[in-house]
A and B are shown apart, each in its own frame.
Chain A
């Protein structure tokens, strides 16, 4: 396995607009082959829109108003819908939160996986089914010969998510986008699916972009993390650096609000006062300013750039030097 000097997927200054407001505002990040990038944030932070943009699947109300997305040398954002259809599934794939809502209830799972393969390969039905059968084995579905001919309702949620992964990976895409892939599953099944994804990354050198709000999932699977808030990246860092020493007040408070083993029972959890601003409430400066304990006048007036903190760690905060105050509060 040679190391690639260039990232496989690069999102550069991506901006998405809905009704005149920049709900995704200048997002940039890169993912190398065999690496997992996690986009983390609360509802409405723009993490799902970012992922849909990578697949050319933005809803009609949303419009990419700036920036580019490259997969290798190919500019995805320059593709026509027709050309995108060739790339989708073959170069880049997506799995969603609710597998049973993504599968066709009237078609056997084998036919759905085979159809995904035949979209991109000129092969006979039998060859496609053989490929689908192999794929079911790879994702750890017992008794694949029987399962091929079953319908989604006959399978559990965990099984359906494995089927979704089969459909997404059967053409060996170089990038897999996973939008909350385990949120609807039980924890024991979540652990199985996360392990499966880790195995696929290693074996196939696939790059994964995982969208989640669960810090436990991030800690388990990610190599790098981008924390998003109200459409912008607040902080981006390698996973260990982010958890050990968050450099943005939002990240620090978010981590402190997750109950931990070391907490005293029923102790007060750290909370973030207020709520995420709606797009028409965005100010000129840092969008977290109204909820931030460190905020000053400058924060409300001037948007902080992503400052480089070294080691690939960057944070969009004017007061990185005062982070100790947050850690004191959160402790």
Chain B
């Protein structure tokens, strides 16, 4: 129970499947196992990165955590409260504690609403503030994210991409969530603006103690902002480790491939690196390979890999890895 006080998120054996229940025409359909039994805890003021290629299930998992997608099994606890099976009133209460920001801020904002109205809306919906108090709270939020209170009367098109992402962050913080899910929050932004938003996220965490689940494919950003890294492949976690251990000693062959694929912004380093380039592409999640799902692309694969699925097992340095050979 004491453990729960520290964890803003606890996932136990969460699985999310699509299809297979018989569609409109009664076809049995294939089951897409987007998330296939994952466990994860996120502590207060911790940043956990969720890394993987398109189609690995990272967005489905994010949607499940905010309650946009129901899992077929498992437990999702936000600040100790169970989301799965909760009634509507309870769910509403829990949802306040977890918010989400997306990749493209232009698509996340209503072009016809002033940003003051956009940021204030969750406060009105929840009945938290109105009138003068609302105005003050919106002004405060704008200041927190590095904008000015007088910006409240402007519309999204009057802002640059980086400023819009600040507005999105302000709205997400309006209800003082415990956990903020950031789904590729900087990948649509220019490099210099990206640095500004990353600095802002770090500063907000230090000020407010909010936790982040940082979904990204950009390992240089992940390395910069995260405390812990989780690597996902075809619906399962294949490696979980603290940041320093993760980057100093990546263990799973998939992790190593991901790392060597990210080009380092230094031509001397980049061109002398030993590259480890994966052959082929991610198999379809509707048809996950037997045993270790990665064995079809893995340079270390042997017979056992296609038969027995490796479990996440702890290593001496604290990392957990799902591989027979790592």
Chain A interface (Cβ < 8 Å from any Cβ of B): 42-43, 156-159, 186-192, 194-195, 213-220, 222, 239-240, 243-244, 253-255, 257-261, 263, 265-272, 275
Contacts and interface: CB of A to CB of B under 8 A. Distances in A.
Nearest to A192: B277
Contacts of A243: 265-268
Contact of A190 (B220, B224, B261): B261
B48 to A, nearest CB: 13
Nearest to A244: B268
Contact of A275 (B160, B247, B260): B160
B275 A191 contact: yes
B278 interface: yes
A271 B269 CA distance: 23
Interface string B35-77: 0000000000000000001100000000000000000000000
Nearest to B218: A187
A159 B267 CA distance: 27
6 contacts: A42-B190, A187-B53, A214-B263, A218-B267, A220-B270, A268-B199
A257 to B, nearest CB: 4
Contacts of B219: 187
Contacts of A269: 195, 198-199, 224
A222 to B, nearest CB: 8
A219 B265 contact: yes
Contacts, number: 129
Given A219-B270, A266-B225, A253 B192 contact: yes
B133 to A, nearest CB: 33
Given A188-B258, A213-B190, A216-B270, A266 B265 contact: no
B271 to A, nearest CB: 8
Nearest first, the 5 closest Cβ-Cβ pairs linking A and B are: A216-B263, A259-B224, A257-B195, A269-B195, A215-B265
Interface string B256-296: 01101111111111110001011001100000000000000
Interface of B: 53-54, 160-162, 190-196, 198-199, 202, 217-221, 223-227, 243-244, 247, 257-258, 260-271, 275, 277-278, 281-282
A330 to B, nearest CB: 11
Given A186-B217, A191-B277, A265-B243, A42 B261 contact: no
A271 B192 contact: yes
A219 B224 contact: no
Nearest to A241: B267
A311 B36 CA distance: 56
A195 B277 contact: yes
Given A157-B54, A192-B277, A260-B264, 17 more contacts: A187-B218, A188-B257, A188-B258, A195-B277, A215-B191, A216-B220, A220-B263, A220-B267, A220-B270, A257-B191, A260-B266, A261-B247, A261-B264, A266-B224, A269-B198, A271-B196, A275-B162
Given A156-B281, A259-B223, A219 B53 contact: no
Contact of A271 (B195, B221, B243): B195
B151 to A, nearest CB: 14
Contacts of B227: 265
Contacts of B193: 42
A258 B281 contact: no
Nearest to B203: A268
Given A42-B192, A243-B266, A186 B220 contact: no
A305 to B, nearest CB: 25
B191 A42 contact: yes
A261 B269 CA distance: 11
A269 B261 CA distance: 23
B217 A187 contact: yes
A191 to B, nearest CB: 4
